[in-house]
Amino acid sequence: MNARGTAIMGALAATALGAAYLTWQRPKETKTDNTVKVLEANKTSLQKIHYEDGTRFADYTRVVDGEEPVVWLRQGFMEGKAPGFDAGSPATDAGTSADGGAVDAGFKPAPLQPIVIPTRELRGNERADKAWEKFAPFEAVRALGVLADPKLKELGLDASSKLLELTVAGTPHRFRVSSPPPGSGFIGQYVLDEKTKEVYLLGSGTLAEIEPSSTTLVDRRLHAFKASEFDSFVVSLGTSGEKREFLQTDAQIPQTTKVAPKEHPDKPDEFAKNWHDKVWNRMIVTEVLGKDEKPTAGVPEVLVRVDYFTKGRPKGWLELARIPTNATQVYGRSENTAGWVGLHTGVEEMALEAKKLVTGK
């Protein structure tokens, strides 16, 4: 064999040894062919995901809403687990109230009442659909089999308050969930099948997003369609009922978009364009209320409504409203929201500008 052939053979041998070393060093958990089927399911047969952490719960269902299926979330406190204070007076110490002041003779301060967020039914976003896919089918990175009681205790599965329940084709399947305590030497999350008693190690992030306290899967958009997908909109004043229609053209590129009143389609209105740009692009959702939930301060009074159309057919809508007793707190709702959403301070100015837009005054 000549020198060139020897060099080639040496290079091939080194490459093979390197590949063998990397394969040997690769953790088993990261191998795509090493996943273990915990529960057979697909997007259709999986009907419900229920997850509770001992204090709060979250239910996830996937329903057909329009053209695309939508994941809906229902989140709240478990029965008897909502935060609250004792019905008696605040704690005292040697005649001193909790705030450091002396308790007057015969006076019993009213107990403080915590603000408890009610159970909310919310629309899920695109990430919610991706989270749903993680359970269709439900897979783990390793099956540990049936473990003895001491090992279950080590893994924190003997008395865990976390419960995962998957309903597939009408049959519920329950799993006890645990994250091993710090210093135990175990990593990751483990689930115990309550029926078979088998234990599985889950992949990283399988349950993180569906935690009952998580808000990452809540859809905070006012509209699911794009600005280029409508060609007209009608602005109505909720107080007087007056309205005015505007046409939108050249909306494929934001910089070329033109907005003009229907009665003068050849005369673009810069004020109308700027107003709608703020309504469409600059409103920030600060709080998402559940389906049929009303703000604690009262029922919002609609100030402005915007209806969107494409070739004369309804595309969507938006309402801006405020609590009569609080002029600065504005709420909104639309065709894409489950109910009312809180909006950032400053939106009330947009509602006031709508009057000038419609009446010219």
Q: Which of these, 165, 159, 192, lies nearest to 176 by C-alpha position?
A: 192
Beta strands in 66-157 (DSSP E): 68-77, 120-123, 138-140, 142-146
28 pLDDT above the threshold of 70? no
Q: In 10 A of CB 346, how many CB atoms?
A: 13
Provide the pLDDT confidence category of residue 325 given band limits of 50, 70 and 90: confident
**Amino acid 107: pLDDT:** 54
The CA angle 125-165-56, to the nearest 5 degrees, is 65
Distances from the Cα of 339 to the Cα of 59, 154, 295, angstroms: 18, 45, 10
Distances from the Cα of 154 to the Cα of 187, 291, 347, angstroms: 12, 42, 54
Return the CA Rg of the chain.
29
Are the C-beta atoms of 50 and 170 separated by less than 8 Å? no
Per-residue pLDDT tens digits for 217-232: 999 999 999 999 999 9
- Of all residues in the chain, what percent carry a pLDDT higher than 90? 66
Q: Which two tokens stand for residue 16?
A: 């093979």
| Residue with more model confidence, 126 or 183 | 126
Per-residue pLDDT tens digits for 124-169: 999 999 999 999 999 999 999 999 999 999 999 998 999 999 999 9
**Amino acid 297: pLDDT:** 86
Provide the pLDDT confidence category of residue 83 given band limits of 50, 70 and 90: confident
In this prediction, residues 172-182 reach a mean pLDDT of 88
Distances from the Cα of 29 to the Cα of 192, 215, 222, angstroms: 18, 28, 40
**Amino acid 99: pLDDT:** 45
Domain ranges of the chain: 37-79+118-210, 227-359
Q: Which residues of 252-274 are buried (b: 16+ CB within 10 A; e: fewer)?
A: eeeeebbbbbeeeeeebbeebee
Q: Which of these, 77, 111, 65, lies nearest to 92 by C-alpha position?
A: 111
What SS3 class is residue 309?
A: strand
80 pLDDT above the threshold of 80? yes
Provide the pLDDT confidence category of residue 112 given band limits of 50, 70 and 90: low
**Amino acid 5: pLDDT:** 52
Q: In 10 A of CB 44, how many CB atoms?
A: 10
In this prediction, residues 270-299 reach a mean pLDDT of 94
**Amino acid 233: pLDDT:** 98
What integer best gives the mean pLDDT of the chain?
A: 85
**Amino acid 159: pLDDT:** 87
Are the C-beta atoms of 58 and 73 separated by less than 8 Å? yes
Per-residue pLDDT tens digits for 44-76: 999 999 999 999 999 999 998 767 889 999 999
Which residue has 């509209």 as its token pair?
A: 223
Beta strands in 53-127 (DSSP E): 56-65, 68-77, 120-123
What SS3 class is residue 228?
A: helix
In this prediction, residues 256-271 reach a mean pLDDT of 96
Provide the pLDDT confidence category of residue 111 given band limits of 50, 70 and 90: low
In this prediction, residues 290-314 reach a mean pLDDT of 94
Provide the pLDDT confidence category of residue 357 given band limits of 50, 70 and 90: very high
Provide the pLDDT confidence category of residue 96 given band limits of 50, 70 and 90: very low
**Amino acid 308: pLDDT:** 98
Residues 160, 145: Cα–Cα separation, whole Å: 18
- Say if residue 90 is exposed, middle or buried (CB neighbours under 10 Å; 0-12, 13-18, 19+): middle
336 pLDDT above the threshold of 50? yes
Q: Pseudo-torsion of CA 67, 73, 74, 76, nearest 10°?
A: -160
Highest mean pLDDT among 47-56, 107-116, 177-186: 47-56
- Say if residue 183 is exposed, middle or buried (CB neighbours under 10 Å; 0-12, 13-18, 19+): exposed
